[in-house]
Amino acid sequence: MAPPPGPVSVDEARVDEALRDQRTRSTGVRHVTEEPQSASSSTGQSVGDSPDPTPALVPRPLSLRLRPDAFWTAGPEAGVRGPAEVAALARELLDLTGSGPGVELTLVDDGGLGEEGYRLTVDDSGARAFAATATGLVWAVQTLRQLLRERRLPHGEIVDRPRYAWRGSLLDVARHAHPLPFLYRYVDLLSLHKLNTLHLHLTDDQGWRFEVKRYPKLTEIGGFRTGSMIGHNRDGRRDDVLHGGSYTQAELRDLVGYAARRGVRIMPEIDAPGHMQAAISAYPWLGNRPDRQLPVRVEWGISRHVLNARERTVEFVRDVLDELVDVFPFEFVHIGGDEVPAHEWLASPEARERAAAERLAGPEELLGWWSRRLASHLAGHGRRVAVWDELIEQGVPEGAVIFAWQNDERVGLAERGGHELVAVPQQHTYLDYAESDAPDEPLAIGGGLPLSKVYSYRPPKSALGVQGQLWSEYLPTPAAVEWRAFPRLAAIAEIGWTAEDERDPADFERRLRGHLPLLDELNVGYRPLR
């Protein structure tokens, strides 16, 4: 089936239908055997009902002294005062729309809170938050949001700042084109948990989601595939349902602004030179067999079809990146570099000639050559690159941050090599893995990765931070994403925010159970605790 003419935006889908609170057995047509349900039977308690003075805050703050017997109650006149954007967010999240005293937000640099820290006090007159930056005030507001139950706040003081500067989540929208409203919702959920980075995986073999005005076929052709896999990839069964869509630059620019106001920066990823079959299907001259018309890949897994090493192809990716950085202002752009088979380069006289001209040991080293070329180009835009850990052996581009994903040993290798790194080992942070091997678990790429194992992870002290990955081969709907993400993403949030010596599994589970009613209020279709 041919794709519809022109780019098709995915924001027309009704995300609320995908987030319904029910469990539906698979008919075999789609890829997840069970849909998430809301865990309405949570056993959590609000701080006002609990005799424990430590409230259900996730992540746990650095320091808190709260009185369980004294509260400020927000009356109908309670309002918010402070910097305009943060105050507007606080009014929305806390539902304090009056004109009287209530919550006061103040920017003040006392030298001890850092870029994201804050100090929060509550007494009979209301709540006062102090931070050096607007982002710090946003995190103070999110703490108030978790504390404010039945319009009451406990008296006391919280002093808080994060352990790691990088705390995030990867969301793969290439394998399945999740609707734009869900991206907004996901940003909201990241902000709620003080996760400050959305890593948006925009392109892969199975679909291209970023509008490139200079190359419209990337979304017109590369944005659609003729089917998706049924069941596990190894079973080799597929449907014949056209799947695709894309996001316009204007849509993504608006999303970036929305996220920034909530303390979340967005790092885009254009994965190259592998994971590029969708692009090659749109423009065959990008491949090593330009006489061959490839389809957008339907199967999951690794495609052997990679970009060629011609200068024209390098210019193509540079053009894509030029448009990308105009939409995403964040300092970092992820350029991929993972799972790049060298078969086509080894068989290509042109690739062998390029490797010889660049004095490489062989075509296998074209991965490093590609990454250095792209990193150099992005440096001209004042940007730094993020790369997957395959680049450790290929020559890490200057100024690059390594996302060490394969295992703990790769994390250690990156650290010993003196590289800046974000710790994302799949054994601890790949949240698309099933939580257990139980037969009633929805279909997943692997498993099990229980909440306890996620929470047990200890990233290196030298790391920039940590993030949870949600690859979407087996996450075809927003409901499936939420089921896999939560509550394990809350554990990632605590790993990134809370000092290691303050982390305790039993205390985390107790606070998490008290946190789940807030997720219920937000209709988050999380996996119930068991």
The residues that are catalytic are: 339
Nearest to 23 by CA among 488, 442, 431: 442
The amino acid at residue 518 is: L
Give the count of beta carbons closer than 10 Å to the beta carbon of residue 467: 30
Residues 6+ apart with CB under 8 A from 299: 229, 233, 238
Q: Report phi then psi at 210, rounded to 5.
A: -95, 125
Residue 488 — left, alpha, or beta (φ > 0 → left; ψ -120 to 50 → alpha)?
A: alpha
Q: What share of the chain is helix, strand, coil (3-state, %, to 5)?
A: 35, 20, 45
Alpha helices in 19-113 (DSSP H): 84-94
The amino acid at residue 437 is: D
User: Do residues 56 and 515 make contact, with C-beta atoms less than 8 angstroms apart?
Assistant: yes
Give the count of beta carbons closer than 10 Å to the beta carbon of residue 374: 25
Residue 82 CA to residue 129 CA, distance in Å, equals: 9
Write down the residue that tokens 């490489």 correspond to. 360
Q: Could you give the count of Cα atoms lying within 13 Å of 361 in the half-sphere of its Cβ?
A: 7
User: Do residues 372 and 397 make contact, with C-beta atoms less than 8 angstroms apart?
Assistant: yes
Alpha carbon distances (Å) from 428 to 162, 432, 482: 20, 11, 18
Q: Could you give the count of Cα atoms lying within 13 Å of 503 in the half-sphere of its Cβ?
A: 20
User: Do residues 227 and 238 make contact, with C-beta atoms less than 8 angstroms apart?
Assistant: yes
Q: What is the secondary structure of 344-383 as a DSSP string?
A: HHHH-HHHHHHHHHTT-SSGGGHHHHHHHHHHHHHHTTT-
Nearest to 133 by CA among 110, 121, 119, 115: 115
The three-state (H, E, C) secondary structure of 312-349, written as one string: HHHHHHHHHHHHHHHHCCCCEEECCCCCCCCHHHHHCH
Nearest to 126 by CA among 100, 95, 146: 100
Nearest to 303 by CA among 414, 175, 170, 205: 205
Residue 454 CA to residue 488 CA, distance in Å, equals: 7
